[in-house]
Amino acid sequence: MSALWTLLQRPKVHDAIAVTSAEVLVAFIIAIPLGTLLGVLIAEKPYLGAVFKPLLFYVFSIPKSIFLPMFILVFGITFAQKVAYAAFTTTFVVLMSATACVESVKNEYIEVARSYGATRRQLILRVYIPSMLPMLLETIRISMIFNFTGVMIAEMYASRTGIGHLIGSWGENFQMPQLFAGIVLLSAIAILFNESVRWLEERCSNWRT
């Protein structure tokens, strides 16, 4: 705990936490709506599902870390590279879950809404989202794990700043107190986010029915 307290006093660590937090947040903001939108489209359009589902399952089964050098070549060692890579790894998780969520919505709800002349926008806002919300919140919790992991891998692999870069540097230099302090700090942030989304999920649990 003393090592953690010492680290929290350093401006360099403050800057690293700010950079990593920004990367995680921007990647998360990109991946969640993008993955949800693509998942809804693939689930709603049978021909899109027939074309893209096999490809998605194939790409989803591949370790995403093998794509990291491609992002470095395209974006360089920049903020955009970490955001793009983390969003890439997270989008697949959200996309697959959103597709399953849409397919789990009862056909009776959809047919009733369409019989009353509901537009596609109304169908999404009034039927799909209320039915999908609890599962989507659970997906958000899971996707944040992939989001954190993507940013950490990108920072450890090739970065000039960020908490992942510092943790990698501490590990290479056998600075065990700082290394464990960094791990504790990241764990605390992850647990805080996870419990916040879990609380929101419980508040929306009545939407399951």
Q: How confident is the model at residue 158 (pLDDT cuts 50, 70, 90)?
A: confident
Residue type, 119: T
Residue spans of alpha helices (H) in 62-175: 68-75, 79-104, 107-115, 120-123, 129-157, 163-172
CATH number at residue 53: 1.10.3720.10
Total structural domains within the chain: 1
- Read off the tokens for 16: 């690293």
Q: How confident is the model at residue 206 (pLDDT cuts 50, 70, 90)?
A: low
3-state DSSP call for residue 19? helix
**Which residue range(s) make up the domain with 182?**
2-208
Percent above pLDDT 70 for the chain = 93
pLDDT for residue 87: 92
DSSP 8-state code for residue 173 = T
35-44, 87-96, 111-120, 164-173: which is most confident: 87-96
pLDDT for residue 85: 92
